[in-house]
Chains A and B, each alone.
Chain A
Amino acid sequence: MAVSTQHHGKGPPVAFTDAAVVDAFRRIPEFLARDAALMARGRLLDVDCLLGPTVQPFHIAIRAGAIVDMTPAPVLMRSSRFSYLASPQAWAAYWQPMPKAGWHDLLSLTKRGEATLSGDLHPFIAHLQYFKDVLALPRRHGFGGAA
């Protein structure tokens, strides 16, 4: 076999702190509220779900595509349809302006074991691009990585 490659997909993710990742995640509702087109894509979506960094998940209530409530977990006896939780390093890498290969998609993160998806996945799958884009919003708003 002859191989021609400069492949570096397994490189380490970027520098980050857990606090910076959690803070960036907290700002997603505000970023979404400023994005009318993305909200419109979620206009038929009402769901309560658990999303965020593994170190600090959030109970998130979405109504007509807008995040109307976001409360740090745990909340006593709060239900959620599904959860998508990723390691802080995964979020930090995912939010880079040009994410590295393998760290660039919600489902590449699950495949590499940096994120877990569980529960009733119907609302997530039926609005998959919406969730990919909502959860990528810190990328567009200049996530730096360090606190």
Chain B
Amino acid sequence: MTAFIEPIVGRYVHVQIDGEINRIYFEENGSGIPLVCLHTAGSDARQWRHLLTDEEFTKHFRVIAFDMPWHGKSNPPDSGYGTEYKLTTASYTATIRAFCKALDLDRPVVMGCSIGGRIVLNLAIDHAKEFRALIGLEAADFQQPWYDTAWLNRPDVHGGEVCAALVSGLIAPQGPQVARNETLWGYKQGGPGIFKGDLYFYRVDGDLRGRTASIDVRDCPLYLLTGEYDFSCTPEDTLRTAAGITGAEATVMEALGHFPMSENPAQFRRYIAPVLDDIRVRNGG
């Protein structure tokens, strides 16, 4: 066989979350420090495929990306069908911790984007000792809403089209067109109401203002990186959040928007490589 086969391996792990088994799809590649990657609201772990195949990173890190329940190839839990999906701070935190425990990961690094960036802050607040380092992309304790999420799930508007069209403006114009298309394709494929349900966490339940000052980066280093074109979680939102956390590292990434790892992988690499190097050195690598 001469066809190119990527080194990513995808499998399912059965994880008990809030008393119910969830069949979670995850992909991984590499060995070393476990690095768990969290996708954005309404999309799935395909966003991380470039990081998963970066040989420089996978030499030192076991890179793992999973589809949240209800997303990508992770179906809803059996009891979830017919109910309204709503992600909460508690359910999101429980899912990440249960997934890491199910894979028996030893103090993994967690890197999340958007809602994944927000929940990373909550991990830093409540569970820092379980992690070696935390990386929040497009992360802030709060940001001002800029549209009504009721438009995301109604019978007279195509859910996939509207989700993609709304977030299309969050992608920086400098990225390759194919990467832009692929990023939006993930949004066109989300289940009905899933993006909206994720944003319940982002908009309603997950306001961390007033809580982030308790983060102690001596327990777990915290890196925050936000794209300059992200007008949802703006650089100002991230810088304000970082200013309230002693020792947090904040970087504004040029020519990137809300989906740095998928919208322009090469540009993102310029910013994430030093972060991963720093984590590797801190851990004796």
Contact = CB atoms under 8 A, between A and B. Distances in A.
Specify whether A and B are partners.
Answer: yes
Contact of B168 (A8, A102, A132): A132
Contact of B250 (A3, A98, A107, A112): A3
A9 B228 contact: yes
Interface in B207-263: 228-229, 231, 234-235, 239, 242-243, 245-252, 254
A101 B251 contact: no
A2 interface: yes
Contact of A2 (B165, B174, B250): B250
Contacts of A126: 156-158, 161-162
- Most chain A beta-carbon neighbours within 10 Å: one of B144, B146, B158: B146
**Interface range on chain B: under 10, 10 to 19, 20 to 34, or 35 or more?**
35 or more
B162 A104 contact: no
Contacts of B239: 1, 3, 5
Top 6 nearest A-B pairs by Cβ distance? A105-B169, A128-B165, A5-B252, A129-B165, A7-B252, A108-B231
A102 B246 CA distance: 29
B147 interface: yes
26 contacts: A1-B247, A1-B248, A1-B250, A2-B248, A2-B249, A4-B249, A4-B252, A5-B250, A5-B251, A9-B234, A101-B229, A102-B231, A104-B172, A104-B173, A104-B229, A105-B169, A105-B231, A107-B166, A107-B231, A108-B231, A110-B146, A112-B231, A126-B158, A126-B162, A128-B165, A132-B168
Interface of B: 144, 146-147, 151, 156-158, 161-162, 164-166, 168-170, 172-174, 228-229, 231, 234-235, 239, 242-243, 245-252, 254
Interface residues of A, number: 28
A7 B228 contact: yes
Given A1-B249, A101-B228, A129-B165, 14 more contacts: A2-B249, A5-B235, A98-B173, A101-B172, A102-B229, A104-B229, A105-B168, A108-B146, A108-B169, A108-B231, A111-B231, A125-B151, A126-B156, A128-B161
- Most chain B beta-carbon neighbours within 10 Å: one of A1, A98, A108, A132: A1
A107 B144 CA distance: 13
Given A1-B243, A7-B252, A106-B169, A129 B174 contact: no
A129 B246 contact: no
Contacts of B157: 122, 125-126
Contacts of B252: 4-7
A129 B161 CA distance: 8
Nearest to B164: A129
A113 to B, nearest CB: 11
Interface of A: 1-9, 98-99, 101-102, 104-108, 110-112, 121-122, 125-126, 128-129, 132
Contacts of A4: 249-252
A1 B246 contact: yes
B146 A107 contact: yes
Contacts of A128: 161-162, 165-166
A72 B170 CA distance: 32
B227 to A, nearest CB: 8
Contacts of B249: 1-2, 4
Contact of B146 (A5, A104, A111): A111
Contacts of B254: 6-7
Nearest to B224: A1
Given A101-B229, A107-B146, A108-B231, A3 B242 contact: yes
Nearest to B157: A126
Contacts of B173: 98-99, 104
Contacts of B166: 107, 128
Contact of A125 (B146, B162, B231, B245): B162
